Structure 1
Amino acid sequence: MQIGGLQKLSLLDYPDKTCCTIFTVGCNLRCPFCHNASIIHLPFSGDIISEEELFSFLKKRKGLLDGVCITGGEPLLQKDLEPFFYEIKSLGFSIKLDSNGSFPERLQQLISSKLVDYVAMDIKNAQDKYSQTIGIKNFDLGPIKESVSILMADVVPYEFRTTVVRELHTAEDMLALAQWIQGSEKYYIQSFVHSDDVLAKDLSGYSEKELRNLLQSILPFLPSAELRGI
């Protein structure tokens, strides 16, 4: 496992649980609004946290933390996820996986092996805007659709979420996206927020009022949709 960061305590990353957050290195997408830009490129030039160091930390947190959130980058790029997840589970922690949905076979394997307890999948945009939104020309949307179907089978608790950027997302896009995942368990709209670690520097977010208007427009298709981080 290539681990590029560790947040030792989070009250936000795992719904209804205290957790630590592990940031894996590398991503197959190049979303201009990515807020972890420093860890998506390979080879990674920063400091790698060893598994030995990580598990030493987790053993000291048994009984103090409820779970572990594994995010990135894109965690499903890592080759040895299954034994890594198994060792975390053996310590008594539940696992939340953050993923962009590009690797449905790996996602299905983790779910089938009961190695993941909650999945948060980023739905980047409406289908016809996906390539533009993720910075990859002629992107094959097939794996994304397959991951959506896997999660909507309701085998594991999950959520879909979209980071909304003024330059990339229109009201029409959000309606099309909502129709695509209609019937999903949970859906969150997150506003884009600038940071020093964003891939592109010329993007902007929507106002709270505008986000609430977007939310109202999609509620007929996703009645459980909510705003997050407002």
Structure 2
Amino acid sequence: MIIGGFQGFSLIDYPDKICAIVFTQGCNFRCPYCHNPELIDTKRSRSDGLEEEEVLSFLERRQGKLEAVTITGGEPLLQAGLEDFLLKVKGLGYLAKLDTNGSFPQRLEKILESKTVDYIAMDIKTSLDKYESVVRKKVETAQILKSIRLIMDSGLDYEFRTTVVKPLFEKDDFIKIGQLVKDCRLYVLQGFVSSKTLDDECLDMHSYSDEELACFKQIIEGFVQKCTVR
């Protein structure tokens, strides 16, 4: 597995747990507002990042202090060695959280069957009819739908989440998103911070106001069990 970055401590990336974060290298989407643009290139060489052994050694030393490991990216499901890495993480006694964009349901299903994850966070980029305009890649939206269903039927803890970038969203988008994730346990609206983005044009974009986010939250609450703003 190609690791593009590592953070040894976080209080916010696994709900209610102290965790470390492993950033995998490579993503199949090109969201212009991506806040980890250095992780997008799938051709980046392994020598530019960390070796698995270094990360696992750190995790072994932190047993009893850390509780969980979050695997994010990039898109972790691009990594052929993801399942083996998760097995090693679980073997050290950690809870494991997987972040995904939901575009690889077959690979996601295999991970779910391996029982190597405890929590899944899937990004819902926008309403299905606008997906390609946001991620700037060809998308089979049926794959997104399949991943949503797999996660909701998995029996695991999970969340769906959307980074809300102005002016990419309208009220109707949240009605459509609510219908996509209807009856899900948790949906999170994430404010956008323009400190670092893939496309420089997004540096001038903003998140919506607290009042606007509250309006979107109210729309989503009509569809899901719980909605929060982060």
Question: TM-score, structure 2 length as denominator?
Answer: 0.95
Between 198-207 and 115-124, report the one with greater CA deviation.
Answer: 198-207
Letter in 1 for 2:223: F
Contact 1:171–1:214 (8 Å) recurs in 2: yes
Contact 2:87–2:116 (8 Å) recurs in 1: yes
- Per-residue CA deviation, residues 173-225 of structure 1 (Å, 9 max, x unaligned), is 111111121101110000111123x1122232111121111111221112411
Aligned Cα RMSD in Å? Answer: 1.3
Which residue does 1:150 correspond to in 2? 150
Which residue does 1:64 correspond to in 2? 65
Contact 2:71–2:98 (8 Å) recurs in 1: yes
Contact 1:111–1:156 (8 Å) recurs in 2: no
What is the distance in 2 between the residues matched to 1:121 and 1:180? 13
- Per-residue CA deviation, residues 48-71 of structure 1 (Å, 9 max, x unaligned), is 101111111111100100000000
Letter in 1 for 2:34: C
What is the distance in 1 between the residues matched to 2:119 and 2:77? 14
Contact 1:192–1:204 (8 Å) recurs in 2: yes
Q: Secondary structure at the match of 2:48?
A: coil
Contact 1:26–1:74 (8 Å) recurs in 2: yes
Q: Secondary structure at the match of 2:214?
A: helix
Which residue does 1:205 correspond to in 2? 207
Which residue does 2:102 correspond to in 1? 101
2:189 is aligned with 1:189: yes
The structure with more helix, counted as a fraction of residues: 2
Alignment map for 1:1-230 (pairs within 5 Å)? 1-44=1-44, 47-137=48-138, 139-196=139-196, 198-202=197-201, 203-228=205-230
Contact 1:24–1:71 (8 Å) recurs in 2: yes
Letter in 1 for 2:81: D
Q: Secondary structure at the match of 1:166?
A: coil
Identity of aligned residues (%): 46
- Per-residue CA deviation, residues 90-145 of structure 1 (Å, 9 max, x unaligned), is 000010000001111111111111100000000111111111111114x2112111
Letter in 2 for 1:136: K
Q: Which runs of 5+ in 2 are unaligned?
A: none
CA shift in 2, pair 1:200/1:88, >3 Å: same
Q: Which runs of 5+ in 1 are unaligned?
A: none
What is the distance in 1 between the residues matched to 2:28 and 2:94? 28
Contact 1:69–1:96 (8 Å) recurs in 2: yes
